[in-house]
Amino acid sequence: MEKCLLGKSDLAVSRIALGCMSLGTDQRKAQEIIQTALDAGINYFDTADLYDYGVNEQIVGKALAPVRDQVIIVTKVGNRWHDDKNGWYWDASKTYIKEAVKQSLQRLGTDYIDLYQLHGGTMEDRIDETIEAFEELVEEGIIRYYGISSIRPTVIKAYAERSNIVSCMMQYSILDRRPEEEAFPLLEKHGISVVARGPLARGLLSDALLNKASESVKQNGYVNYRYQELKELLPLLKEKLTTGRGMTAASLQFVLAQPVVAACVVGASSVGQLVENVRALEQPALTEEELHFIRKLTKSNGYEQHRLCEKTR
């Protein structure tokens, strides 16, 4: 699988990354999915201390232990579980980050983390203190690089200008083009790569299309689209883009066509689902005409929210 450097780091990441949140807690099943990813050339594995109360990190670490020096393990920090595990709260303090990383290392069964991401961020945080924590972890050799996972323009701007982040993980797809106008140019200017999550828009941009629409989508729509708009838009996209390729392929290739995007994070709860996503890269690339059609037909609204201090993952 094609790889590219993540920001200004020396991390050569596969264009498709495995989002491990949906692996579940069955080690055998998760091992099978992860092995399929490895066989396909995927080397980027994304987890977080929040997922399944840390069990996800344990599963990922155990599965990747035999190939630890060949893979890039990415985890996140900032969302802190209550003692009774009934919900979590935000903590981006230096003290917590430096304590939480020790617990992640133990669960992952490794002595270093390739990419450590702040799992959100607000302008109310003591950002310089948070950056200091990550910088010290780099100096200590505990993490190789750090990044953020955020869609909040003010937070992205602060870290792009004041820190040494190499990546910003954010939601981006044909149905969510909000980052294009504001975030992408800023990140590209600072040599920071985007890691795109949600490229298939909860399955709406997979080959299943509206068959994947949840009750929430049917009632509330998706991002800037009402459900009725999706019913009109998705068939048009399918008709134009699926000659010689599937909709899943077209959706992933649209995201990866952005120069600032280094990788797409795709989740998989089964081997079949992962194989479908990997095969997308083997299908014909989108032409300039098709890319223009997508941009003309879909919305590129900027961010109207997430500009103050509410938390986001």
Which residues are known catalytic residues?
Answer: 51
| Dihedral sign (CA 2, 263, 56, 102) | positive
Q: Are 284 and 252 in contact (CB under 8 A)?
A: no
Neighbours of 310 (CB within 10 A): 12
Q: Are 142 and 113 in contact (CB under 8 A)?
A: yes
Quick one: tokens of 128? 């310089």
Amino acid 232 reads E
Neighbours of 187 (CB within 10 A): 24
Q: Are 213 and 230 in contact (CB under 8 A)?
A: yes
Quick one: tokens of 7? 């920001």
User: For 207, how many CA atoms within 13 A lie in the half-sphere containing its CB?
Assistant: 10
Cα–Cα distance, 169 to 313 (Å, whole number): 10
Alpha helix segments (H runs only) across the chain: 27-39, 55-64, 94-108, 127-139, 153-162, 179-189, 215-220, 227-241, 247-256, 271-279, 288-297
Q: Are 26 and 275 in contact (CB under 8 A)?
A: no
Cα–Cα distance, 278 to 107 (Å, whole number): 28
Quick one: tokens of 214? 């949840």
